[in-house]
Amino acid sequence: MGRFLVAITGPINIKCIMKYTDYDIGGKIVKEDERYIVKDNNVLNNLIVSSTTLHRGKSTSGHKHEGQEEVYLFVRGHGNMELDDTVFQVSPGSVVLIEDGVFHRVHNLGDMDLYFVCVFDGKRNH
């Protein structure tokens, strides 16, 4: 399986019906505990836009999805991302493409909350 870490460094022009800030994608809280706050925005028919605020020193639950791909965009903070057996650093501007069936987990190694946005197809199955 190929894996990519892509850094987007320039402005991106996106035509959209609704605009959200870098730190609020709208939607509602679907998970919250001592590790993180996860919000889902279900405005679109075929995609879910989700945000995670991962608290200092915490990690997400590692998991994988059969039949579902995801894109993570890191907005604030620093940490590590696991894709199967590969671990690499992520920081604001990091974009990670997660292929179908790949195990993934995020670790916040910084001194502030790590905030990232995730886009995935279909319905939440995790």
Tens digit of each residue's pLDDT (9 = 90 or more) over 49-64: 999 999 999 999 999 9
The CATH fold assigned to 4-8+26-112 is Jelly Rolls (2.60.120)
Q: Is 32 exposed, middle or buried (0-12, 13-18, 19+ CB in 10 A)?
A: exposed
Length reported for the chain: 126
- Three-state SS for 81-97 is EEECCEEEEECCCEEEE
On whether the CB atoms of residues 102 and 83 are closer than 8 A, the answer is: yes
Which of the four pLDDT bands, split at 50, 70 and 90, describes residue 67? confident
CB 90 within 8 A of CB 36: no
pLDDT of residue 2: 46
